[in-house]
Amino acid sequence: MQLEHLFSPIRINGMTLKNRAVMPPMGTGYGNADGTVGDRLIGYLARRARGGTGLIITEVCAVDPRGKAFLNEIGVWSDFFLPGLTHLTEAVHAEGGKIALQLHHAGRETFEAAAGGTPEAPSPIPSVALGQPCEEMGASRIAFMIDAFARAAARAKKAGFDAVEIHGAHGYLLNQFLSPFSNQRTDEYGGSEENRSRFLLSTVSAVRKAVGSDFPVIIRISADELIRGGYDLEFMKRLAPRLVAAGGDAIHASVGVYSTPGNLSIASMDTEAGFNLFRARAIKEIVNIPVIGVGRINDPELAERAIAEGSVDLISFGRQHLTDPDFIGKAEAGRFEEIRRCVACNQGCIERLTFEMKSATCTFNPECGKEYKGAPTPVEGTKRLWVIGAEPAGLSAALAAAGRGYEVEIFEREALPGGQVQSACRPPHKKSYLDWVDWSIRQLEKCRVKIHYGRKMTAERLVEKRPDAVILAAGAYPVTPKIPGLEGAQVVDARDLLVGKVKAAGPAVVLGAGYVGMETADFLIAGGIKVTLVEMLNSAPVGRHTAHGYWLHKRIREGGGRIVLGATVTRIEEGTVIYRQENEEKKIPAALVVTAMGAKPDNGLEGALMESGIPHRIVGDAKSPRRLLEAIHEGDQAGREI
């Protein structure tokens, strides 16, 4: 497919972009503790610019210390930040890119440690997502913040940025004023649509005045909040022309706030790619400035179609930039098979930043956030490395080691690579997980890595052939407690069911309501089978606070599934599961019983490796069963360091 529209230039006020690809703002936590820009953030963004993207927009940058959303958010509220910001623009420009600074105030969507005190908001209504109390801003404080946005924009221009983006989306301060969901004021900044729009319109006008007539000002909006009591698309269609009149040069049309069900602002794999483009088109039809579309887009061909049909002028590829910083250049060269695709798992990026309070990365790209460290040290001479297992950790380790010059061989006991990904990709909306396995195999073939399938490694062969180094990535095997009847013919392992080794039947009972159990139930329900999940814990292990967790619960509930919590299975009889809940014995009919109750590391070769003295690393589930993120990153680290 010729991507002539995606790779055509476009002008936003005084800025000309070489293509229509945009990297939108995404929080990373790569800023320094004092809010300045350091080598880590510079290396990360410069690497994305090198990939060929037309415009890079930084992550949120606080215009006031009280507006920080997280501890390491970068700042622009004083000249103190100018040296680091200037170094950032110079690094991106050196790679041939254009860069905009996103001006941000979190409002109530933060916490005291980040804001340095009680967060401020249009009304003293705590954040739904965070539950953090906040206090109402007075008129003088509002006037001060309008000026703070303007002064921050002037600093951005001084630091060499090519544009600024005003963050008026996702439930942050400016969005909070727009929305009756968060704004219950009765003064000139609340109540009517006119009053609720005043703060944002005044801010846009002040920024325009501060930067001059030819400096690009982009406005990021949530086209629809998609929450009860919030504003809708019709409201934003009325507001958009006024944003243009106030000084906006482009509109970046996102969707939702952080308390929107399913977190559509950062949509998971459960949401259709490009789901939000129709809202961008609705805005584009009524304004005469460029509109940037966004919404789970990882496919340059989808972007090409959206631009060609007139839905948008530019496309934001968000998390795809984390997964593969070179995907734009690959697409332009027609090397689509080399693109490593984002699957919208959210594990390494937003969930890591928000729920784990750690800096962001990417599940499938271990280099994300480590660009400033440089390339690993090449091996000296000819050295052989054996990887035991083509599980995700093993594939990742082999890629990293081959990149250093090792002669790598992989030994996999199964007929297919990927380990548990082969089963994990079978539930609804998870097929794309296998894309990474296929991509890895293609890369390994280019590196001339030999993969031996159906070859179970033995201690004797390791000692006899004695490679220079070994990475043990043999994965894990399922474990179950000793429950009478668990060995019956009707009882199967979740992985065997998902890959088709056994036939599904109903009604089914799934033992364990973690992600494996929930996704297996989702799989069965999609096949028309009635399912009950039985879980020992008193609360659901998979929370509704994550996007994927929300959709799993929703599909299981709407599909007639049931989750029994605080239940201990005591025995399994033919056609029945018996369990105890609150000291009462209960029964569930079951034509099929599926176990999804954990796994144990397959590290049986560890002893032979230690006795032989062969340098080795144990990675992934062979070390301890965890998420895909830990497996891929641990394998990569082993391949880089061994």
Q: What is the 3-state secondary structure (H, E, C) of 261-282?
A: CCCHHHCCCCCCCCCCHHHHHH
- The rounded distance, in Å, linking the Cα atoms of 159 and 175 is 27
Tell me the angle at which helices 547-558 and 515-526 cross, rounded to the nearest 10 degrees: 40
How many Cβ atoms are within 10 Å of 166's Cβ, its own excluded? Answer: 26
- CA separation, residue 403 to residues 311, 318, 337, 467 (Å): 41, 27, 19, 18
CA angle 368–361–90, rounded 5-degree value = 50
From the list 523, 542, 532, the residue with the least C-alpha distance to 431 is 523
How many Cβ atoms are within 10 Å of 79's Cβ, its own excluded? Answer: 11
- The rounded distance, in Å, linking the Cα atoms of 543 and 554 is 12
Give yes or no for a contact between 407 and 381, defined as CB atoms under 8 angstroms apart: no
No. of helices (H) and no. of strands (E), the chain = 21, 28
Sequence-separated (6 or more) residues with CB below 8 Å from residue 584: none
Token readout for 347 is 């594990």
Give yes or no for a contact between 514 and 596, defined as CB atoms under 8 angstroms apart: yes
- The rounded distance, in Å, linking the Cα atoms of 610 and 407 is 22
Q: DSSP strand E in 389-473: where?
A: 407-412, 450-453, 469-472
Sequence-separated (6 or more) residues with CB below 8 Å from residue 18: 9, 54, 96
Give yes or no for a contact between 28 and 41, defined as CB atoms under 8 angstroms apart: yes
Catalytic, out of 44, 172, 231, 433: 172
- The rounded distance, in Å, linking the Cα atoms of 20 and 342 is 19
Question: What residue type is 153 in one-letter code?
Answer: A
Token readout for 499 is 């890959």
Run of H or E residues at 211: helix 193-211
Question: What residue type is 182 in one-letter code?
Answer: S
Run of H or E residues at 585: strand 584-589
Give yes or no for a contact between 287 and 251, defined as CB atoms under 8 angstroms apart: yes
Q: Exposed, middle or buried, 33 (CB in 10 Å: 0-12/13-18/19+)?
A: exposed
Give yes or no for a contact between 317 and 304, defined as CB atoms under 8 angstroms apart: no
Phi, psi (5° rounding) for residue 303? Answer: -60, -45
Longest dimension (CA), the chain: 82
- The rounded distance, in Å, linking the Cα atoms of 528 and 515 is 20
Token readout for 65 is 């210390």
Strand order in the sheet with 531-534: 491-493, 592-595, 508-511, 531-534, 562-564
- The rounded distance, in Å, linking the Cα atoms of 266 and 475 is 31
**172 classed as catalytic:** yes
- The rounded distance, in Å, linking the Cα atoms of 437 and 412 is 14
- The rounded distance, in Å, linking the Cα atoms of 471 and 639 is 8
Q: 369 in the Ramachandran plot: left (φ > 0), alpha (ψ -120 to 50) or beta?
A: left
Query: Which positions are annotated as active-site residues?
Result: 172
